[in-house]
A and B are shown apart, each in its own frame.
Chain A
Amino acid sequence: MDCNKWLLFSCALTLCSGAWAVDSPAYGNLATPDIDDIEYIDDEEPSEREVNLGKMLFFDNRLSKHQNQSCATCHNPELGFSDGLAKGIGSGGDILGRNAPHLYNLAWSSIFFWDGRAKSLEEQALGPIVSDVEMQMTPKEALQRLEKVAFYKKEFKEVYGALTFENIGRAIAAFEMTIISDDSAFDKYLAGQREAMSHSAIRGLKLFVGKARCVKCHDGANFTDDSFHNIGIEDNDDGRFAVDPNSKLKGAFKTPGLRNIIMSAPYMHDGSLASLEEVVEHYDKGAVNVKNVSPLIVPLNLNPQEKADLIAFMAALTDPVVITRPQLPN
């Protein structure tokens, strides 16, 4: 090879590496969720039998006062484990206070509900059952209902030793921990399949970690910091402040994870934004002059193409979890 050929070869290499660098932005903590990072209760993965028991309970209307609702009513697998409504409806017909959040990848979460009032998935799973506006049961009523079902009596005894209210929460949580989404176009892209995401989604990723500042809160493998922020949605809900009376938390709500987010409209704690387009518009404006808004929320000055790219990236976080509804015991 003569000198000119070497020069050409090295120029080509330089160009290639430059192109690769453009396509490889710093993703921060964004990653594919790692099963090994799940903190199981007692450090033990739930058994298949426990998961199946939890799945039955998750879909069983017997856990609501009027036997007209199950967990799956508000967390419908066919609606992105949400309900498509701005605010849910309780067993007695009451309009609930907040939007039903999706349930994807809660196995990695450390705090639950929009205001973080539950510290475990087991505790969270029991909350709506005994809420006086949601499923409107008492622990005693829930146990009485399930004790009448031979299957439940047997399964609880053999899986946990006894049918208790706490064990109902354990079983439902065991099922919910299996709702895992980890093979989206973004995950394939991270694994080296550069064609897995469209050019628009790749540009959206760069905006997500850069100019659009999304990653300030939506970071980590599940696109949430599990923290609480007032993002400037104006209503009378104190959010996290009601649980932790720190003035900085007034109107702050838990950052939702973004995996499969395109499937669980409407958005925000009050369901006030109907689409991801509206969500991006909200953040682009920056909630200027809204009381108690987080300093992380500032105007972004995104152009229409950048807004479309951000949505394309969020769409690339889609990996649906298909759940077959179980045959419930008599």
Chain B
Amino acid sequence: MKKYMLISIGLCSIFSAEAAVLTGELEFVKRPSFVGLVYAKGGKGPSVAELDQSNKVFDKKAVVIGKNGEITFKNSDEFQHNIFANDPNSGVKFDVGLMNHGQTTKVSADWSENTLTRIGCKIHPKMRSYIANVNSDAYQVLPFTKKQKVYPIKLDVGSHTEFVLQIPKYDPVELKLAKGQETSVDVMYKGKKRATLKLALN
């Protein structure tokens, strides 16, 4: 019994020595964008994800999926919808066709990893969301609103030390941090500083 206890205490201390938390904030200079994603490089990413539609909006600003994962699109709206992607930035194209109330359809994310793909509805052009296809098990979606400039980041990242911030159309930010280190970087869009990303790994 004592041996088991010792082993488990030993294992716990190994994990606590390696487990790290990424904290920080993203602060926009002016108006925030639509959505962002912070993630640690490494892992597989989720194998399934779900995105619903009601009141002519998607229920999430971004869904995260791993390579070849399956996204289920639902339509809980009283209106018909037609989800599609035709995103020149990620090169992803699909069209799920017309979906009636209560209908679901599945799409396999069989395109390049580490991409953000814009999706919309052919019938309701104001609807938009993003599919983040990432090889990561530690990620945080940042749904931005126009009235909030600062967004806190807190992410259990295990032993990972390489991190990425992706915001649609913005230059992606990639950085490496050692435990105990902190950094501050400019987030750029078309050559202009749009935000400051501050991160610390502890």
Q: Taking beta carbons and an 8 Å cutoff, which residues of A are in contact with B?
A: 29, 34, 36-37, 40, 42-44, 110-111, 116, 216, 219-220, 225-228, 244, 246, 248
Contact = CB atoms under 8 A, between A and B. Distances in A.
Contact of B190 (A34, A42, A111, A248): A42
Contacts of B79: 216
A42 B169 CA distance: 9
10 contacts: A29-B56, A34-B146, A36-B147, A37-B146, A42-B190, A43-B31, A43-B33, A110-B126, A226-B124, A227-B124
Given A36-B146, A43-B194, A246 B122 contact: yes
Q: Is the interface of A mostly helix, strand, loop or mixed?
A: loop
Contacts of A43: 30-31, 33, 189, 194
Interface of B: 30-31, 33, 55-56, 79-80, 82, 98, 122-126, 146-147, 189-190, 194
A225 B124 contact: yes
A228 B123 contact: yes
A43 B31 CA distance: 7
B126 A225 contact: yes
A132 to B, nearest CB: 27
Contacts of A248: 80, 98
Nearest to A252: B123
B192 to A, nearest CB: 8
B190 A116 contact: no
B98 A225 contact: no
A200 B190 CA distance: 51
Contact of A42 (B82, B122, B189): B189
B125 A110 contact: yes
A216 B123 CA distance: 13
Contact of A244 (B30, B33, B122, B124): B122
A227 B125 contact: yes
A44 B190 CA distance: 12
Interface centre among A37, A111, A220, A246 (most CB of B within 10 A): A246
A36 B31 contact: yes
B125 A116 contact: yes
